[in-house]
Structure 1
Amino acid sequence: MTAPLHEARSTGRRRALPDTQQGMRRRNLARVMHAVRAEGPLSRAAVASRIGLTRAAVSTLVDELVRAGLLEELGPERPGRVGRPGSALAVSGRGPAGIGAEIGVDHLAVCAVDLTGATRARAIRQGANRGRSPEPVIAELTGLIRQVVSEAENEGLWPAGLAVAVPGLVARDARTVVRAPNLDWHDIDLGALLPADLAPTVDNEANFGALAELWLGEGEGAGAGAGAGEGEGRPRDFLHVSAEIGIGAALVVDGGLLRGARGFAGELGHVPVRPDGPACVCGGRGCLEQYAGEEAVLRAAGLEPGRDRVGVLAGRAAEGDENVRHALRDAGSALGIALTGAVNLLDPESVVLGGELSGLAPWLLPSLRDELARRTAGPACPVSVSRLGPEGPLLGAAHSVVRAVLDDPAAYAGRP
């Protein structure tokens, strides 16, 4: 099952299938799954109308998906419809589930998401991971993964795959962490340390956060620039900023990730905003993280790092603490300067602020928007705040596995 999951990781788009009769059947199975997932419950006739196939063809496909446990029949449609009522179809809440995991600088998290998109199990461990070697961190993460898988199995689910979000550069092999400065990890083959039976894949946390925004999000205050995406109000072209201790970004273009030649696109936190500024863990100077990362904002506000950093900053700012508000204004300005270069170069439809710092948006956005408006060559780029916040990377990881199942259900039919 590695191939479907890897395709979902590497493109953020539906998996390309061979242009053969078998490939066409698999594509049509995927079309049925996506139609029912997006608009269900639906009858066979309604599915046929939406995807442009005959009722007979759709009925054959539906029967195959029901037998595989991927769709379920809910009984006759509601009364009042003309003609013989059909049986309503829905995506099954049992069967394959996506397992998502996140390695943060100060936490580990795991969740299981079923095909309906519901989170069915979750586990989290708070504790510093910076400076620890990967082996004990992954051992702890594996314990959480096994716990979540066990809870999911008790509800009639089985793991279709595992996707892991990490705060660093990940090679195109979807397993090697080339560099994670805030963890002090370099050239680590995480794929070799993760549970092989779950077909693990690894990606940058900002990429998974952007995919979660594409599939699930609906940013606040997006304005006229936000176009429709997977659902109403979800843009398909945007720059997603995932900001906490580190700051990453991911560019979504026409519903897919723009990764760059080596897969390293989006390192916004290491864009210099003041070239003569303080040294950064990446080896550069004056990087954005030195002005807008959580720890930098705490230093500027004269506060000590703690467990609930964002909560402390938000509370002090709401109370009118001028030192905190000044630090947040400066952080917003630094974000605006860094984003100006990205906006001028890439011309995204909108910018979405996610991650932990999205909780500080009321105090960050005014100066951020001012810098963008003052420095952007073209019209002002709308800036919105992700409703997913810090949950984005973890949910994006789990949903990437779910999307792989929806994109090629024939590869996941029944228990492996």
Structure 2
Amino acid sequence: MPASKSPSNKPKNGEILEQSGLRRHNLGIIFRALRDSGPLSRAQLANATGMTKPGVNNIVDELLERGLLTQGVEESKPERGRPGVLLTINAQATSIIVIELRAFYTAIIAFDLLGQEFYRERATTSYNLTPEERTTEVAPFLERAIQSATRQASRIAKLIVVFPGIIDAELKVTSSSLNWQKLELMQYVKNVVPSSIPIEINTVAKLAAFAEYENLLKENKTSKLLMHLELGITPGIAVVQNGEIQLGANLSMGNIAHISINEHGKLCRCGKIGCTETEIGFKVLIENTCPDLVKDWSKDSEFYLSEIISRAKNGDDVVFKGIDLIAQSIATTLAILIPILDPDRVILGGYAVRITDLLIPRLKHHLEKKNKDISSFSIDTSALDTDAALFGACILAQAELFNSPHSISELT
């Protein structure tokens, strides 16, 4: 009979994984507590989180070792005992870079860990570039932003590429605005970005909608279902329900560009008549309000919108009639979408932000003419200007980093 073995005190593999997961969970709790209520001492962290003081000490020591916290002055009025040293988030521990690729411009912002921007650039882009040409054009943008981020922080958490369009389950992107069809955008970006930087891609409408929702929370407002209508060359929508971005079964929710809203409208490139792209798209807005400008699409979109505002101030009747036509078509689009989605807030982004005073009163008028009870939902343009998608990308990245602070120090 073989001798019996004494039980081992070593944890089994499953127990090791469970302990590792618990430790990572606790890292996130302490990290978020300092973000939300800091600076705090170790004793204050124990009180705030309900963790034991030895447990807090272990977690804090690890976060300090990872370079994610800094130690500052002593707390001024400790509840008892000697004053503790106050701990704060090290905002320069990592950075987030977001680049937005639009038909008429490229914008890029770099943020620190706490969401403060420290680098920003925007420039007009040539319209209808091939993917290869656009990649070549944005490479210097990315290089300058990466250099700035490297000087600012010890590591770059991620680069997020934002574009108007949809992403399928295979991460192939389609954008009518940029003339991309099933494009492997990730591969193009990887060609001009150091391999050490993680890359993500996402869409303008979804990120803008999420940023709008988060902005409402900051203002102590709520929304059970927020619908964001992004008005660019190709319109699109995104929905945030109870704080969650809705993606759809095939990740393409919000693709409304080729919904026909006018049976007597223009022929769309998709072959249909009166699609939203040909009725409420950016180029249609310019054709209706400033028809003399449509021969030259080489300017930043801000140029065309400034012209609309300037001409409206001078009483240009063509502008007023053009805005009214667009408002009527947007009202038709919303009259289709609102009964289906039942939002309590509708926020318009894109070109609507620049022409709010001209557009919103006319839009509400046409909605009322269509017997839509606009008291059941609020409608306005974005409070985040044209940066909503850039901010949304940063907010999502921050949430991920504060939930998993261990991932920051694992970056090379």
Residue 386 to residue 41, structure 1, CA distance change in 2 (3 Å)? farther
CA apart distance, 1:115: 0.9
Deviates more, 1:284-293 or 1:230-239: 230-239
Given the alignment of the two structures, is residue 259 of structure 1 paired with residue 247 of structure 2, yes or no?
A: yes
Residue 32 to residue 339, structure 1, CA distance change in 2 (3 Å)? farther
Aligned to 1:287: 275
Aligned to 1:123: 121
Q: Distance in 1 between matches of 2:350 and 2:46?
A: 40
- Give the 5 Å matches for 1:41-190: 41-77=39-75, 79-80=76-77, 82-83=79-80, 84-130=82-128, 132-173=129-170, 175-177=171-173, 179-190=174-185
Deviates more, 1:180-189 or 1:58-67: 58-67
Deviates more, 1:362-371 or 1:256-265: 362-371
Residue 161 to residue 286, structure 1, CA distance change in 2 (3 Å)? same
Q: Distance in 1 between matches of 2:185 and 2:151?
A: 28
Helix, strand or coil for the counterpart of 1:197? coil
Letter in 2 for 1:97: S
Contact in 1 for aligned 2:290/2:308 (Cα 8 Å)? no
Q: Distance in 1 between matches of 2:100 and 2:89?
A: 26
Letter in 2 for 1:75: V
- Give the 5 Å matches for 1:374-393: 374-376=370-372, 380-393=376-389
Q: Distance in 2 between matches of 1:49 and 1:231?
A: 28
Post-superposition CA distance 1:143-195 (Å, at most 9, x none): 3112101111112342111111111221134x311x21122111111111112
Letter in 2 for 1:116: L
Q: Distance in 1 between matches of 2:51 and 2:344?
A: 34
Select 1:335's aligned residue among 307, 330, 333: 330
Question: Any stretches of 5+ residues in structure 2 without a counterpart?
Answer: 1-15
Letter in 2 for 1:137: R
CA apart distance, 1:113: 0.9
Aligned to 1:223: none
Contact in 2 for aligned 1:280/1:287 (Cα 8 Å)? yes
Residue 355 to residue 275, structure 1, CA distance change in 2 (3 Å)? same
Residue 356 to residue 51, structure 1, CA distance change in 2 (3 Å)? farther
Post-superposition CA distance 1:349-391 (Å, at most 9, x none): 2111222321211111123223445444795211133221211
Contact in 2 for aligned 1:114/1:402 (Cα 8 Å)? no
Q: Distance in 2 between matches of 1:193 and 1:402?
A: 25
Residue 262 to residue 230, structure 1, CA distance change in 2 (3 Å)? farther
Contact in 2 for aligned 1:114/1:157 (Cα 8 Å)? no
CA apart distance, 1:309: 1.4
CA apart distance, 1:402: 2.8
CA apart distance, 1:70: 1.9
Post-superposition CA distance 1:71-91 (Å, at most 9, x none): 2233223x3564344333332
Q: Distance in 2 between matches of 1:340 and 1:47?
A: 51
Select 2:186's aligned residue among 186, 191, 199: 191
Question: Any stretches of 5+ residues in structure 1 without a counterpart?
Answer: 1-17, 219-228
Q: Distance in 1 between matches of 2:317 and 2:130?
A: 39
Contact in 2 for aligned 1:162/1:398 (Cα 8 Å)? no
Aligned to 1:411: 407
Q: Distance in 2 between matches of 1:51 and 1:269?
A: 48
Q: Distance in 2 between matches of 1:89 and 1:28?
A: 16
Q: Distance in 2 between matches of 1:55 and 1:335?
A: 58
Helix, strand or coil for the counterpart of 2:169? coil
CA apart distance, 1:237: 3.1
Between the aligned residues of both structures, percent identity stands at 25
> Could you state the TM-score of these two structures normalised by the residue count of structure 2?
0.84
Given the alignment of the two structures, is residue 25 of structure 1 paired with residue 23 of structure 2, yes or no?
A: yes
Aligned to 1:243: 231
Letter in 2 for 1:212: A
- Highest CA radius of gyration, 1 or 2? 2
Post-superposition CA distance 1:22-57 (Å, at most 9, x none): 223222322333332233333444444444434443
Helix, strand or coil for the counterpart of 2:388? helix
Helix, strand or coil for the counterpart of 1:270? coil
Q: Distance in 2 between matches of 1:136 and 1:159?
A: 26
Post-superposition CA distance 1:212-259 (Å, at most 9, x none): 2233x34xxxxxxxxxx3663364631112223222211001111111
Contact in 1 for aligned 2:236/2:257 (Cα 8 Å)? yes
Contact in 2 for aligned 1:250/1:257 (Cα 8 Å)? yes
Post-superposition CA distance 1:320-375 (Å, at most 9, x none): 32321222222222222212322211122211122232121111112322344544
| Aligned-CA RMSD value | 2.6
Deviates more, 1:238-247 or 1:248-257: 238-247
Q: Distance in 2 between matches of 1:290 and 1:170?
A: 22
Residue 413 to residue 144, structure 1, CA distance change in 2 (3 Å)? same
Aligned to 1:207: 206
Q: How many residues align?
A: 384
Letter in 2 for 1:187: K
Q: Distance in 1 between matches of 2:258 and 2:43?
A: 53
Letter in 1 for 2:67: G
> Could you state the TM-score of these two structures normalised by the residue count of structure 1?
0.84
CA apart distance, 1:126: 1.1
Contact in 1 for aligned 2:367/2:374 (Cα 8 Å)? no
Contact in 2 for aligned 1:278/1:285 (Cα 8 Å)? yes
Q: Distance in 1 between matches of 2:23 and 2:197?
A: 26
Q: Distance in 1 between matches of 2:225 and 2:45?
A: 28
Letter in 1 for 2:407: A
Q: Distance in 1 between matches of 2:34 and 2:263?
A: 52
Helix, strand or coil for the counterpart of 1:267? coil
